[in-house]
Structure 1
Amino acid sequence: MNAKNVAIPVHSSTSSPVAKPAKPSLEQRLKGFALGALAACAAVTFTNPFEVIKTRLQLQGELESLALREKTTTADILHQQRVYRGPISALFLIGRQEGLKGLQKGLIPAYGYQVMMNGTRLGLYEPLRDTLQSGWDYMTSRESGLPPLVPIMVLSGAMSGFAGAFLGSPLFLIKTRMQSYSPAMPSVGQQHAYASQGMVKGLTAVYRAEGLRGLWRGSGMAMMRTGAGSSVQLSSYDLNKQFLLSTGYFTEGPRLGLSASLLTSLAVVFVMNPFDVASTRMYNQKANAEGQFMYKSGVDCLVKTVKGEGLFSLYKGASAHYLRIGPHTILTLTLFDVLKRFFM
């Protein structure tokens, strides 16, 4: 055959029209929301005890050294003995003093929060990622079908996390106050008596005392917390799956999801814990007799925490955080993958 007569295909941005980005259907969005919520609720049933422990460790010794140095009346409120020596100590102490019920405090609002936050976060992540990526491919004539770009995955994770955290903020607030409340033993942090009366009465009490704004107090830091965690968790989970598949030792299935989740958890805790400490303290604070709050904003909380307790205080409860988020990440993302294969 004459080489001159062989037609050589030429790929150029003008040789063929680029397909317009396909938008996910309403049915896909609703299925993603429902399956994300179901996976997260199943996971939180097993991981909630470590959320209780994490909350109390993060509140322990709150601004104590700062209050003592400045000799304010805050010292009288916050001066407390060291109740918990670590997550294992807290597990046994809470279990002995308050029983299984104490270790599962805040479980009902935790379910509601998972539906609102994780359902939104997981349900929106893939549609957002695919829509943003297809839009980018359309504008740049990038070849379709390639793996999503890392910045697209990070942005999609952050955006879905912001939305979920804002919607679920009142439930996280009451969950935090229920989990920190401990009448049976020396307490940590500020205590809210209505927290023992259940989720609905607790939310009603907050609304009556602080108004609608009070229900979303601390939501800004919670959005930063969840946005940071989501951008790392969801994007690195995708990257870890791609990496593990590239080794040739893994195929699509639960084992791949489990291994990718294990690799993801450490990065999530490192990035998320400082925001988590500030978020917990913002949610748990209450006004003094003059109607003033301890923290004016999330940034003020971070500054006061570092000033009063040192830089490493931002990683209070990190071990309990990992013990919670490791299994929670594994269970949530693995179950979500399994559910998607069956129902989507």
Structure 2
Amino acid sequence: MATSDFVLGGLASVGATFFTNPIEVIKTRIQLQGELAARGSYVEPYKGIVQAFVTVAKNDGMTGLQKGLAPALFFQFIINSFRLSIYSSAVEKRWMHKKNGEVSFGLGLMWGAIGGVVGSYCSSPFFLVKTQQQSQAAKQIAVGYQHTHTSMTNALRQIYAKNGIPGLWRGSVAALPRAAMGSGAQIATFGKTKALLIEYDLVTQPTINSFCAGLIAGSIMSVAITPPDVITTRLYNQGVDVQGRGLLYKGWLDCVVKILRSEGVHGMYKGFWANYLRIAPHSTLVLLFFDELIALREKYDLHY
């Protein structure tokens, strides 16, 4: 795994996160509203994506739309450094290719999932803080458990002081299915789509090829990742007792069962469109930025 690919993967995701963090704030709020309540039995401060943007800006100010940005940048840098550098190494060493030279969707799925799992576990404390900060809102529009963090460092200190190192990695194992499914679907689709667009002479210009493949990969990823994303949001945001145990959910399976019993299948897809509007452009930008940065690195290496 090249060190430069590790850094470039992280930088690509940081650039995209500045643009997509506001929609993730909205997504998190929608996933938390009506937690474990039957559909139609609770007040919905967030009734749609546009209305949610206006509501957050009105009650939390424009800066409210960038809540959790600092931990989001750390999370994205770490997870995508692992994901994209592992993907890049797999492509360069032809671990994702069949014997006939074609890109294998199955192998892409496997290497994407491996990168996602490794990156997700290593970046878990920042995902935890990001989720908790994004859920913090003015009283009149608050949903889910409300934490009292004043900054990323304050949150990390609070969590560590209360529950130690295990507290910082709380929910990390439950987040692995989300990472495996989302990353696997994204990486496999991206690699295969790029190859097919070139093979059938549909989109051959490198930048446009990466853009189109990234958009398609993001669309597939959003469908695969929404249910495990809802579960992860709920587990990371819930309050904990003095022993560090969740107040609402015992773990991943318990969360699934309780959501289905209380909210039905609809509950597993809360925030789907917000998730789609975040993931599709984020995936497109991350993969496009990564390919462009790789191209710049190769150009630099050739000239120098």
User: 1:165-184, aligned counterparts within 5 Å?
Assistant: 165-184=120-139
Instruction: Check whether the contact 2:218–2:282 (CA below 8 A) recurs between aligned residues.
Output: no
Partner Cα distance (2:139, 2:263) in 1 = 27
| From 157, 177, 188, the counterpart of 1:224 | 177
Q: Distance in 1 between matches of 2:161 and 2:288?
A: 41
Runs of at least 4 residues off by over 4 Å? 129-132, 288-292
- The one of 28, 36, 48 equivalent to 2:21 is 48
Alignment match of 1:342 (pick from 266, 283, 296): 296
> Aligned equivalents of 2:111 and 2:202: distance in 1?
29
Shift, 1:64, TM fit: 2.1
Post-superposition CA distance 1:291-330 (Å, at most 9, x none): 6521111111111111110012111001000111111011
CA distance in 1, matches of 2:243, 2:13: 40
User: Who wins on radius of gyration, i.e. which is larger?
Assistant: 1
Q: Contact 1:133–1:148 at 8 Å: present in 2 too?
A: no
Pair 1:93-2:51 in alignment: no
CA contact (8 A) 1:262 1:326 kept: yes
Contact 1:80 1:188 in 2 (8 A): no
1:81 is matched with which residue: 5, 30, 43? 43
**Which of 269, 283, 291 lines up with 1:315 in the alignment?**
269
Tell me the residue number matched to 1:302.
256
- SS of 1:189's partner is coil
Give deviations 1:254-304, integer Å, cap 9, x for gaps. Answer: 111111122222211111000000000000011258965211111111111
Residue 330 (structure 1) aligns with: 284
| Pairing of 1:124-163 with structure 2 (within 5 A) | 124-128=86-90, 130-131=92-93, 133=95, 142=99, 146-163=101-118
- Match for residue 187 of structure 1? 142
Give the aligned residue type for 1:238.
Answer: G
**How many equivalent residue pairs?**
296
Instruction: Assess, with a 3 A threshold, how the Cα gap between structure 1 residues 131 and 307 changes in structure 2: closer, same or farther.
Output: farther
* Contact 2:128–2:236 (8 Å) recurs in 1: yes
* Aligned with residue 38 of structure 1, among 11, 32, 51: 11
1:329–1:87 Cα change, 3 Å: same
* Counterpart amino acid of residue 32 in structure 2: L
What is the percentage of aligned positions where both structures have the same residue? 36
In the TM superposition, what whole-angstrom CA distance separates every residue of 1:94-115 from its partner, at most 9, and x where no partner exists?
Answer: 0111122100001011111111
Find out whether 1:118 has 2:96 as its counterpart. no
Q: 1:274 and 2:247 equivalent?
A: no
Q: 1:105 aligns with which of 67, 83, 86?
A: 67
* Structure 2 length-normalised TM: 0.92
SS in 1 for 2:61: helix
- Whether the aligned pair in 1 keeps the contact of 2:30 and 2:270 (CA below 8 Å) is yes
Q: Which runs of 5+ in 1 are unaligned?
A: 1-23, 67-78
TM norm structure 1: 0.81
Deviation at 1:125, TM superposition (A): 1.7
SS in 1 for 2:18: helix
CA deviation after TM superposition for structure 1 residue 160, in Å: 0.4
